[in-house]
Amino acid sequence: MCRIIVSVFFLLNFHLCVSLTSDGLSLLSLKSAMDDVRGTVFSSWKENDDSPCRWTGISCANISGSSEPRVIGITLSGKNLRGYLPSELGTLVFLRRLNLHGNDIYGSIPNNLFNATSLHSIFLYDNNISGQLPPSVCNLPRLQNLDISGNSLTGIFSKGLRKCRQLQRLILARNKFSGEIPLGVFPELANLLQLDLSENLFNSSIPEDIGELKSLTGTLNLSFNHFSGKIPKSIGDLPLTVSFDLRNNNLSGEIPQTGSFANQGPTAFLNNPMLCGFPLQKNCKNSSNNSSDRGQGSSDNEGTNSRKGLKPGFIILICLADAFGVAFIGLVIIYLYWKKKDSGGGCSCTGKGKFGGNHEKRMFCDFPCINGFPNNDSEVESEKGGGGGASCGASGGEGDLVAIDKGFSFELDELLRASAYVLGKSGLGIVYKVVLGNGIPVAVRRLGEGGEQRYKEFVAEIQAIGRVKHPNVVKLRAYYWAPDEKLLISDFISNGNLASALHGRNGQPSPSLTWSTRLKISKGTARGLAYLHECSPRKFVHGDIKPSNILLDNELQPYISDFGLNRLINITGNNPSSSGGFMGGALPYLKPAQPERPNNYRAPEARTPGNRPTQKWDVYSFGVVLLELLTGKSPDLSIPTTSTSTEVPDLVRWVRKGFEEQNPLSDMVEPMLLQEVHAKKEVLTVFHVALACTEADPDIRPRMKTALENIEKVGA
């Protein structure tokens, strides 16, 4: 109380002797209420200034009917300020944005703050604010964003919140709100896009009308509360793109199977002991009754089974064992036959064989050095026995040359004698462009020289990769295995990769990368990645999605490359510490125009050594690629902010900061993208998809299938 009196006295005296505007005087109350620990925030706040518009963290604008610029924004987030919120802020009648998050603000939120009726965004999260949320918050007719998470607020979920009809984001997470959520609130919030009530003390059932939030996107987060009872079926009426997070509650009964529930994974429902049904691995039938029924049935039938002889299950097992025995004997006979046939052929390399034929492997007798693939960085035309300077005798034994695609047939010596262009070198092997005699180019990657003891494992991986067939994934055509030589032959994609197209030699994007083209690349990449996750035989995790692994053809259609490659490198003993990203792709130059740091595309949890790759890693990486397509900025560069001289070292954080501060879209987007008709709305939608994909918590990120569905709607 003493401090408030001093503050009022301070302002009255200054009002008599300075020419500062009324907005400036109101802001001085904030300076008086806060301790500037660093001493850098309020140093520019001078009482003898005519206007506060040049003060740190203050934004102004010319308002119609006003003779002077008026304060419209206060942005002092993360400044290590300690103090309370003065009620004088409510006199800033044109204030639109109040951003004080990440400080040490204590005390309650003053009722008078909501006299600033132009406020549309309030960001007070990650402070130490206590007390209750004043019901007058909905006196703000334009309120769109309210984020007061990470404080110590108490009280109930007020029914008065139904009056905030313009509200788009309501984030109350990590507080101490309790009680029940009344009916009748959510049907009134027709514009709500984000709802996060996680980590509170709500102990009622989930309201039935929550399914009426038809505009909701991203994640409905009700986790880490004490919600009880059954999950309302109405939640299934939410848009199909919404993810649920209902973990760590006291929910019970069977999970509904309607609408949006079909798109949820098991993590959405974990740690609800009384919850059962798909996708949880818990049957809803009473287990105790089942066990007693089974016990009674077994005792009743014991005598019957003993009289009838063998059980049906044993008979089936015996039949299966017989079938496997016959099949095994047949395989042994076939193996011995082909081994005898091959051994009689010697090493006479006469005649020509097609790729994938019976005597292909003997054709390596003429090429002990695999001499069609030089180790220098220039084009080489190899003659028989020449080897481009390579020493002979490197190929110490016979190898297996296998065509995965039987329709892709060519002569082996044609491959080995063809012109070979080095496309790139890395820990993932050397990659060549090889033009066959019929003019068809292929990409050939040389892997490591070891791994001869892991042949079966290598073949199993190759076969899984070879079964992947999708128009947005590079297709593996064949492979060669020998103790000291492993080759992968894949389609050659002719127009380089996305990294080169985005940044080129001089850091400028290709003129052909219009918004419609970037949207096409985004959709194609999402389709290919969703296929790898959901439909491929192995349900692959790529683990290294980035622009240099997204190849482009002449029509600028994208192709995902290098999936499954790290596993093959591990088998062959090569070092995958660096990433070339050139499998199947042609580069305009031997070296990338800008060095890449792959970790900047990796999810936060992927940067911890020892963690196994997951599909959510790929989702995060895809989100970073989207942000790079939208902004034109590489994630490995420090990005200067527009309002201060500081730099943000992370593209994801920079974009989130921009949206949080309501920066104009033109400040974040590649300028050329907003020149197309309807581009602005579409760009904004893709931004939301990218931000959802780059959530720090992997459980909150959508599945790749969901991200694809959201992107497919853009421009449709």
Q: Which amino acid is at 48?
A: N
Count other C-beta atoms under 10 Å from residue 283's C-beta.
12
Checking 652-656 for CB contacts under 8 A at 24+ apart, the result is 652/623, 652/624, 652/627, 652/694, 655/627, 655/631, 655/687, 655/690, 655/691, 656/691
Q: Is the peptide bond before 207 cis (omega within 30 degrees of 0)?
A: no
- CB-hemisphere CA count at 13 Å for 491? 20
Question: 308: which 2 tokens?
Answer: 């009838």
What's the distance, Cα to Cα, between the start and end of the chain in Å? 59
**If residue 638 lies in a helix (H) or strand (E), which one and from where to where?**
none
Structure tokens at 106: 């204590």
Q: Look up residue 66 and give its amino acid.
A: S
- Strand 70-75 versus strand 104-105 pairing type: unpaired
Sheet hosting strand 476-482, strand order edge to edge:
400-403, 476-482, 485-491, 441-446, 430-435, 419-424
Q: Please identify which of the residues 245, 413, 491, 544 carries the catalytic annotation.
A: 544
For 364, residues 6+ apart whose C-beta sits below 8 A from its C-beta are 370, 395, 398, 399, 412, 482
Give the residue from 398, 362, 565, 566 showing the smallest Cα distance to 484. 398
Distance CA 249, CA 222 (A): 9
Q: Which of 91, 80, 96 is nearest to 37 (CA)?
A: 80
Phi then psi dihedrals of residue 58, to 5 deg? -110, 130
Please give the Cα distance from 227 to 198 (Å, whole number). 11
Q: Phi first, then psi: give them for residue 14, nearest 5 degrees.
A: -70, -30
Nearest to 364 by CA among 417, 430, 412: 412
Opening angle at CA 226, ends 223 and 231, nearest 5: 70
For the stretch 47-50, contacts whose Cβ atoms lie closer than 8 Å and that sit 24 or more positions apart, written own/partner, are 47/14, 47/18, 47/20, 48/18, 48/19, 48/20, 49/20, 49/24, 50/19, 50/20, 50/21
What letter represents residue 4's amino acid?
A: I
Query: Would you state the structure tokens that stand for residue 300, as one six-digit string?
Result: 């009743």
Active site residue 544: yes
8-state DSSP, 271? S
Helices and strands of the chain, counted as H and E runs: 13, 29
Residue 244: which residues within 8 A CB-CB, separation 6 or more? 219, 220, 222, 235, 260, 261, 264, 268, 269
| DSSP for 308-324, written as a single string | H-S-HHHHHHHHHHHHH
Task: Give CA separation, 572 vs 428, 451, 655, in Å.
Answer: 10, 4, 41
Tokens representing 227 are 């919600």
Positions annotated as catalytic residues are 544
